Amino acid sequence: MRYFILSDIHANLEALEAVLGAVHRGDYDEVICLGDLVGYGANPNEVIDRIRGLNPAVIIRGNHDKVASGIETAKDFNPIARLAARWTHDHLTPANQAYLADLPRGPQLVDDLIEVCHGTPYDEDAYIFSEEDGLLSLATSRRPLCLFGHTHVPLVLRMGAEGLEMDDLATTGPHTVTIPPNGRYLVNPGSVGQPRDGDPRAAYAMVDTEARSMTLFRQAYALDEAQRKIFSAGLPAVLAQRLGVGR
């Protein structure tokens, strides 16, 4: 099975369309979405409609999906994220609000190889920032390959003989990892719609379960158009500016 992995789209339609345009329908069998369809960007309804049209095999909710749909308050959000969540909540159609509210909570088991979560396998809203977070996630994950999002930073962590090891991700070109029989991997494909690793290009990934391989890709998109929409929607200007620098 070949999975097309999308995470943290954040209502950025231009980034999503560029990623979908870069991938041919015959290149994958199913879509997996790791949450945060909305929040920050100016096209929440269009992004949700596009994802619904792809009929993902597995999709889980992100923290922004919960707040934008109204099932959770924005008390843990910073002021900018809170403003964006309020704007998103006010602009979602009732049907899309209901769709977000009904998204399942992570972690979810996909098959014998893959488990998915938004934040971590032990807490859907926690972040994997430190070595300790990575070790705890690997210890609680129930599959050789645990996919996560939430930090918007592509990351490949694996359990090596000496402990936790991290792949050096190339700044240009795709990065492929192959999961050995006894391998334990924790991988963030990066964010489609709001990358934070200093590379403004949209990030996505492909997993081939038969080959036990995963490849991380980057794709340039019309980010000036995404920025223009954020400005004209009256969303905080910093949300447009950060897209330009990928932070």
When the beta carbons of 36 and 199 are compared against Zn ion, the nearer one is: 36
Point out which span in 8-16, 46-54, 100-108, 132-140 binds Zn ion (CB under 5 A). 8-16
Please tell me the count of residues contacting Zn ion according to CB under 5 A: 2
For residue 149, the minimal CB distance to Zn ion (Å) is 6
Point out which span in 34-42, 124-132, 138-146, 180-188 binds Zn ion (CB under 5 A). 34-42
- Quote the CA–CA distance of 128 and 147 in Å, as a whole number: 11
For residue 24, the minimal CB distance to Zn ion (Å) is 27
Point out which span in 32-40, 76-84, 182-190, 236-244 binds Zn ion (CB under 5 A). 32-40
**Residues sharing a CB contact under 8 Å with residue 127, sequence separation 6 or more, in sequence order:** 119, 120, 133, 150, 151
14 binds Zn ion (CB under 5 A): no
For residue 209, the minimal CB distance to Zn ion (Å) is 25
Q: Are 78 and 30 in contact (CB under 8 A)?
A: no
When the beta carbons of 144 and 193 are compared against Zn ion, the nearer one is: 193
197 binds Zn ion (CB under 5 A): no
**Phi then psi for 206, rounded to 5 degrees?**
-130, 140
For residue 151, the minimal CB distance to Zn ion (Å) is 8
36 binds Zn ion (CB under 5 A): yes
Nearest to 72 by CA among 35, 108, 42, 43: 35
For residue 64, the minimal CB distance to Zn ion (Å) is 6
Sign of the CA dihedral 245, 34, 183, 164? positive
CA–CA distances in Å: residue 85 to residues 22, 152, 237: 29, 17, 15
Point out which span in 12-20, 30-38, 101-109, 176-184 binds Zn ion (CB under 5 A). 30-38
115 binds Zn ion (CB under 5 A): no
Burial string for 169-196 (b: 16+ CB within 10 Å, else e) reads beeeeebbbebeeeebbbbbbbbbbbbb
Q: Which residue is nearest to Zn ion (CB)?
A: 36
8 binds Zn ion (CB under 5 A): yes
Residue at 196: amino acid letter = R
Pairing of β 202-208 and β 163-166? unpaired
Point out which span in 2-10, 52-60, 132-140, 239-247 binds Zn ion (CB under 5 A). 2-10
When the beta carbons of 34 and 207 are compared against Zn ion, the nearer one is: 34
Pairing of β 2-6 and β 30-33? parallel
Residue at 31: amino acid letter = V
What residues make contact with Zn ion under the rule CB under 5 A?
8, 36
